[in-house]
Structure 1
């Protein structure tokens, strides 16, 4: 374990904690109880009030020879190459009621994304700063819905089994106050050049709201685990660079473009995600470079040891630059001991208008240790992807 940052940096981080307005609207005791979906996670509610399946979704499945009923009965487990949809326009993710029960969540593993530090630092020494000192991750204050409601956990299925990432509820410019958009990493939704879209992607904001231990969660209520319910992705977009890039970690892959946006719907109907949790964060696509931006904070649910995947943590540090290839933008890098599972979690900074903005997401960490995290700079390409999602699917 590397040493903690000096006191001066830690004081700056404390100031950022008070400035980062990640809180939800609502009372002191419970997160907008009247607005929460009435589902009982992990139990059959007897309700058939499922979201209407869009006609184009059924058509897309049929186009690829997939029967919707068979898919829901387990056909989604077929990861044969000819059944694994990979192109941007081919994403499908039908809601499968009660699929994400507590036991499946517990079995979900992190999609480890690490990179050899020597390969990284030798890619372009001119734009790669010295590795930052490690910053110890701190657990978020409880209850999570009160202090970091936009942050949540993403569950999905891969050929290797159930997997987890982190995500953040972000504002939808075309649907103010009614956003259904979640920001995460590209590797949390798509396997890249060697595969296709992951399946059964669902988002749970403020997961495990009271920060219970894994043992305590064994007897936790559905409301403890998912205080706002489950939200399934009905459309996902990630960068073309991520879809087409290499998946070899030491080759740089396309981590500079490792970002994605989910459009979600409540598993059993209800208000928009933003209305339900009471808040969402704007995205800054024109953030200063790492040398100018000042302190940033990263939030997520790290799972690889020594963490357990069910509790929310955060790190705060001044970013430095990390370059993987000379032809791609440099990445932000901060000292942080969070591990895999925090992938996709939002990085935030406070702009001069005193508002908190999402500026990146956790993409990679070092191979063989846990001392730093890196995330992509969100430029014109990320903004275009985001606006297209908002314009085409935001009001669905």
Structure 2
């Protein structure tokens, strides 16, 4: 699908490898023994503020009935009806009932990446704003194994679209109103909502440290449930993304708002009662006031790329100094780094180390170049993203 051009890591990347602390506490033999460390639906309307967030759905049967949907029929396959009148799209309409054993290994294997690419030449030729030259490609490196030990907050997201089962990547983030017990996962808007042309995706589930030993697709055929999902599956019971993404109002080249392509999920375990952060033993804070691309040092992007030559079951990372990408004059510039990861890594977190020596999430993978591989771009997380995140934390933090 895309060509991959290997290159050496840029100056400064090696230092970040040791500085980026994405690890969990606990023993290598039993990741579920992790020590306890010391949601989400609504639309981010940018400067206009957020709409009032509703309560978490206590009775999904009633929520579905409001839209003429029977829960029993939904669980038996009614969710496959993507007719326009059945595809819920408004910020307050998200529903995601848990369907037990839906995401089995064979179904996970069938899931495809939601490809998001853009012709940056068309963008830069349209007086879009300030765009730096394309960064040199950086060859993606597989994360050390086991993944739960070296990058525990990173995981894989599975969901259903009208085209079939799909995959993205995501990151466990700290909840400021529920310290040590976060149930929040950061990802891309296009991993949860189809944007202007559609509505909310369905059957959204997050698996932290997916395929913990980095087994090949063939080896996964005989893997145990704990090897595939060492901490279990966590289903989204509420999701928030930006109003700009839902309405697709800013990017002149595509009709999609990649500058606002971010989302936060509130999740609950398919089994058990502990929070996501307690279960995994790790979560990362989000930095909504990061320096611009011209001022920041090296960033790292993590994810599960699936488009060739990758296979979607192994975790990779790229380290590079970001540059600017501008798609629309009225919107913020995006971060862009050299990276050969492909689709499937969408939604994966971008991290940097602040002067306090702590690792923060600062962006997420949104788009790559049309027709090739070599770089990724992600949104700057400003005031609108912070408002969305804090309202979710305040509303659902103790849920």
TM range (shorter): over 0.9
Please report the RMSD computed on the Cα atoms of aligned residues, expressed in angstroms: 6.7
* 382-391 or 342-351, which deviates more: 382-391
CA gap 1:35/1:264 in 2 versus in 1, 3 angstroms: farther
Once the two structures are superposed, what CA deviation does each residue of 1:273-301 show, in whole Å capped at 9, x if it has no partner? 00000010000000000000110000000
Once the two structures are superposed, what CA deviation does each residue of 1:153-209 show, in whole Å capped at 9, x if it has no partner? 000000000000000000000000000000000000000011000000000000000
Say if 1:331 and 1:375, in contact at 8 Å, map to a contact too: yes
Structure 1, gaps ≥5 residues long:
none
Query: Offset at 1:12?
Result: 1.1
Say if 2:211 and 2:227, in contact at 8 Å, map to a contact too: yes
Once the two structures are superposed, what CA deviation does each residue of 1:219-253 show, in whole Å capped at 9, x if it has no partner? 00000000000000000000000000169893362
CA gap 1:340/1:92 in 2 versus in 1, 3 angstroms: same
CA distance in 2, matches of 1:345, 1:47: 25
CA distance in 2, matches of 1:48, 1:318: 36
Number of aligned residue pairs = 396
Query: Offset at 1:41?
Result: 27
CA distance in 1, matches of 2:145, 2:336: 27
| Residue 366 (structure 2) aligns with | 363
Say if 1:42 and 1:100, in contact at 8 Å, map to a contact too: no
| Residue 48 (structure 1) aligns with | 51
CA distance in 2, matches of 1:227, 1:42: 30
Once the two structures are superposed, what CA deviation does each residue of 1:88-144 show, in whole Å capped at 9, x if it has no partner? 000000000000000000000000000012113224465100000000000000000
Say if 2:38 and 2:180, in contact at 8 Å, map to a contact too: no
CA distance in 1, matches of 2:146, 2:50: 29
Say if 2:56 and 2:237, in contact at 8 Å, map to a contact too: no
Say if 1:137 and 1:315, in contact at 8 Å, map to a contact too: yes
SS where residue 100 of structure 1 aligns? coil
| Residue 35 (structure 1) aligns with | 35
CA distance in 2, matches of 1:307, 1:168: 20
Say if 1:350 and 1:356, in contact at 8 Å, map to a contact too: yes
Say if 1:151 and 1:205, in contact at 8 Å, map to a contact too: yes
* 254-263 or 1-10, which deviates more: 1-10
CA distance in 2, matches of 1:285, 1:46: 16
CA distance in 2, matches of 1:344, 1:52: 25
CA gap 1:294/1:34 in 2 versus in 1, 3 angstroms: closer
SS where residue 48 of structure 2 aligns? coil
Query: Offset at 1:338?
Result: 0.2
* 192-201 or 8-17, which deviates more: 8-17
| Residue 14 (structure 1) aligns with | 14
Query: Offset at 1:394?
Result: 1.9
Say if 2:171 and 2:186, in contact at 8 Å, map to a contact too: yes
CA gap 1:37/1:62 in 2 versus in 1, 3 angstroms: farther
Query: Offset at 1:331?
Result: 0.1
Q: Normalising by the residue count of structure 2, what TM-score does the alignment of the two structures yield?
A: 0.91
CA gap 1:5/1:12 in 2 versus in 1, 3 angstroms: farther
CA distance in 2, matches of 1:226, 1:48: 35
Structure 2, gaps ≥5 residues long:
none
CA distance in 2, matches of 1:182, 1:207: 14
* 281-290 or 21-30, which deviates more: 21-30
Q: Is 1:253 matched with 2:256? A: yes
SS where residue 286 of structure 2 aligns? coil
Query: Offset at 1:67?
Result: 1.0
CA gap 1:320/1:69 in 2 versus in 1, 3 angstroms: same
Say if 2:4 and 2:340, in contact at 8 Å, map to a contact too: no
Say if 1:242 and 1:254, in contact at 8 Å, map to a contact too: yes
CA distance in 1, matches of 2:227, 2:49: 20
* 31-40 or 325-334, which deviates more: 31-40
CA gap 1:349/1:52 in 2 versus in 1, 3 angstroms: closer
Once the two structures are superposed, what CA deviation does each residue of 1:28-71 show, in whole Å capped at 9, x if it has no partner? 33313488999999999999999999434322211101111111
